[in-house]
Amino acid sequence: MQTQTVKIVVTGPFNAGKTELIRSVSEIEVVNTEKKVTSESEKVKNSTTVAMDFGRITVDNDLVLFLFGTPGQKRFDFMWEILSEGMLGFIVLVDSTRPETFREARGILETFRAYAPTPYIVVANKQDLTDAWSLEDIRVALRLDSAIKLLPCTAKKKSSVKTVLLELLYAILEELDSAKS
Amino acid sequence: MALKGNLSDFSIIQLLNLITLAKKTGALYIESSSKSARLIFREGKLVYATAGMDAMPLIKIMARSKLIPSSMAASLSERYRSLNDMELGITLINSGYLTQDQIFTGITDFFKDIIRGLFTLTDGLFHFEAEEPPPLTSIPLRMTLEDIIIEGSRQAHEHEDLKSEIPSLDVALKFAERPGVNIRDINLNAEEWRVISYVSPKNSIKQIAVVAKLNDFQIRRVVYNLLQAGLVELIRLNNPAAPAPPRMIPARNPVEQRNLVNRVIDRIKTI
Ligand SMILES: Nc1nc2c(ncn2[C@@H]2O[C@H](COP(=O)(O)OP(=O)(O)O)[C@@H](O)[C@H]2O)c(=O)[nH]1
Ligand SMILES: [Mg+2]
């Protein structure tokens, strides 16, 4: 029996907390590629260099969960195809303190959903900060249907990230059940 | 004298070099177990190329170079179904979709990729049919081969170096327990990301290459970069008997998938 791998993808605007979220739960040091975009490497082969995070959780002997953090911008759309293969579901992360990014988050959500018709949840990050918007307001601002899970999160806290991951996994189970009936 | 033989004795790069230097006119046929191609030359310049049995339609060639949005390709093919490549090229130019330069660029990219796909062939038959012309309706273009020959020889050297670093592809990869200090500064490209998803002691590099759709040269280069970055280590294959490539779920079977999701849930609960 070979190792199987499953993916959960975390997407959202720049600075939403994707790297932080993955770092909170990954058992390996999170590989992050967005720091080094030197002019040298830019010149050589920028077309294929992607800013992304990569974390891992060993489930058991035969199963590994990968967490991929990816900016949702259009110019990376060649990555989504790769990412959506074997993807269980995805998380759209928004920074609750920066309403100016909500529109972008909405756009990312729509594009990603078009690529990967898998279950997803929306996560309002940085709820520990005093100027964080409330969930109700974020739901309206993002024009989220009431059927879509929107969860509060503080990506710096492992327990909070754990809850978020579980909620996504439950949404995936629900989807499997509804597909059956 | 007929030009024919085996790629194990005469590499594709050597052939292209010969055709260029001798300014040959005619068709070079390549047939290996994994690939076939037909390259047509006029006085040492490439004028036409097909991979496999069939020629790729011009619209598709333009779409793969992103000169035509793939969303439009289908409707254009449908609309201009009755036109041959030459007529279609003229129509696309006249109707302002593309310039002549763009059409040449798209075709040149396509031809180069066909040739690149042949670089790694180490076995297979070739024969050259002197004076065989390209199809009458093909777009008239002449591509010099110098650049691609240089690229190919460079790659051949690099491949030799990589082979000495990673002689066997029947080994597996695992993540380094303590990755290199500069792990945060790694710049991974799309190929590398794809390979990373399959890193496991139970997957051979060869199996990873198959699912990641990379040839021997490409997979060696990716693995070499990941090794250099200290992200992975080479290890003996844990499960050498298993012939199948690693599987990415979601599995089609919902029972199996529910089982997988439940295992992930149980694990996450212990965090
Ligand atoms: N207060 C607070 N700060 C956070 C939280 N999550 C992330 N940050 C901070 O927000 C900034 C951007 O986070 P990062 O993970 O790099 O965002 P990314 O661009 O989506 O990867 C960093 O300075 C983080 O430390 C959170 O839950 N609470
Ligand atoms: Mg980040």
- Give the containing element (helix H, strand E) for A6: strand A4-12
Give the closest of A33, A45, A65 to B186, CB-based. Answer: A33
Q: Which of A5-9, A41-45, A122-126, B257-261 has the lowest mean pLDDT?
A: A41-45
B260 with A158: Cβ contact below 8 A: no
> Is A23 near chain B, with CB under 8 Å?
no
Query: In this structure, what token pair is assigned to residue A179?
Result: 């597909």
Tally of domains in chain A: 1
What is this structure's pTM?
0.63
Probe site for chain A from B195, B261, B262 (most A CB atoms < 10 A): B261
The predicted structure's pLDDT at residue B179: 57
Question: Hey, how many other C-beta atoms are within 10 angstroms of the C-beta on A140?
Answer: 12
Give the closest of B186, B196, B264 to A59, CB-based. Answer: B264
Question: What value does the mean pLDDT take over residues A11-28?
Answer: 91
Cα distance between residue A107 and residue A72, in whole Å = 9
A positions 85-104 inside 8 Å of B (CB): 85-88
pLDDT digits (tens, 9 = 90+) for B98-144: 999 999 999 999 999 999 999 988 889 999 999 999 998 899 999 99
Cα distance between residue A157 and residue B177, in whole Å = 24
CA-nearest residue, atom 7 of ligand 1? A17
**β-strands A63-71, A4-12: how paired?**
parallel
3-state secondary structure of B27: strand
Cα distance between residue B245 and residue B35, in whole Å = 21
Question: Hey, how many other C-beta atoms are within 10 angstroms of the C-beta on B125?
Answer: 14
Question: Hey, how many other C-beta atoms are within 10 angstroms of the C-beta on A99?
Answer: 14
Q: Which of A167-176, B40-49, B126-135, B234-243 has the lowest mean pLDDT?
A: B234-243
Of the two residues A142 and B229, the one the predictor is more confident about is A142
What domain range is A70 assigned to? 4-180
- Give the distance (Å) from ligand 2 centre to CA of residue A171: 25
The predicted structure's pLDDT at residue A166: 98
Cα distance between residue B46 and residue B42, in whole Å = 6
- Give the containing element (helix H, strand E) for B3: strand B3-6
What share of chain B in percent tops pLDDT 90? 60
Q: How many CA atoms lie within 13 A of A51 on its CB side?
A: 18
Confidence band for A173, pLDDT divided at 50, 70 and 90:
very high
B238: buried, middle or exposed (CB in 10 Å: 19+, 13-18, 0-12)? middle
Confidence band for A147, pLDDT divided at 50, 70 and 90:
very high
The predicted structure's pLDDT at residue B34: 84
The predicted structure's pLDDT at residue A31: 66
A144: buried, middle or exposed (CB in 10 Å: 19+, 13-18, 0-12)? middle
Peptide bond into B69 cis (omega under 30): no
Residue A128, ligand 1, Cβ within 6 A: yes
ipTM: 0.89
Q: Which residues, by Cβ under 5 Å, contact ligand 2, an ion?
A: A 18-19
